[in-house]
Amino acid sequence: MRRRSLAVLLVVPALAGCGASSSSNNAKDFKGDQKAVAQTVDDFSAAVRNNDDKKICTDLLARSLVTRLDATAQKCTGAVSDQLDAAGDTKLDVKAISVTGTRATATVVSKVDGHDRTQTLSLVNENGGWRLNGVAA
C-alpha cells in the first residue's frame, strides 16, 4: 500500500494546500510544445478540482504510472481518489517549462498552508499528448 501512495504522491503533492476553489489558465502564457505541456497541467488542476479520478487516470497520467497503480488492489482510480480527498488548493501556477524531445518539466507553484510551494513536475509525450509522470528529482 505504501508503494501505491508514493506513486500517486509523485503527481498530486503540488495540490496539497488550502482551498479547492482556484482555477488555472497557464496555457495562454506559452506557445508550441510548452503551451501543450501547460495545458496538461491546467487540465490536471481542473480534474482534481472536479474530483475526476477517471479523467486523471485515463487522460492525464503517464501509462507507466497508471500501470503501476492498476497493479494495486485499489487500481488507479481508487488510489487517485484517496489522494484527491487530501488535496487542497487545485491551482498550479506554471513558472517555467522545458521540453526535450518526448520529455518535459514544468516548474509549478501552489499554496500550502499559506506559503508558496515550488515543485517541478515531470511529463512525457505519449501518442502526441503530454502526460504527467511524477515529480522531477
CATH code of the domain containing 67: 3.10.450
Nearest to 30 by CA among 91, 94, 90: 94
Q: Residue 137: what pLDDT? A: 61
Please provide residue 19's backbone torsions phi and psi, each rounded to the nearest 5 degrees.
-95, 165
Question: Between the CA of residue 122 and those of 22, 35, 132, 134, 137, what are the distances in Å?
Answer: 22, 15, 6, 5, 9
> Residues 47-74: what's their mean pLDDT?
91
Cell 509549478 found at: 108
Domain that holds residue 113: 2-135
pLDDT of 125 over the 60 cut: yes
Nearest to 110 by CA among 9, 35, 14: 14
Q: Residue 21: what pLDDT? A: 44
pLDDT of 129 over the 60 cut: yes
Please count the structural domains in the chain: 1
Please provide residue 63's backbone torsions phi and psi, each rounded to the nearest 5 degrees.
-60, -35
pLDDT of 41 over the 50 cut: yes
**Mean of the per-residue pLDDT values for the chain?**
81
Q: Which of 25-29, 81-85, 117-121, 130-134 has the lowest mean pLDDT?
A: 81-85
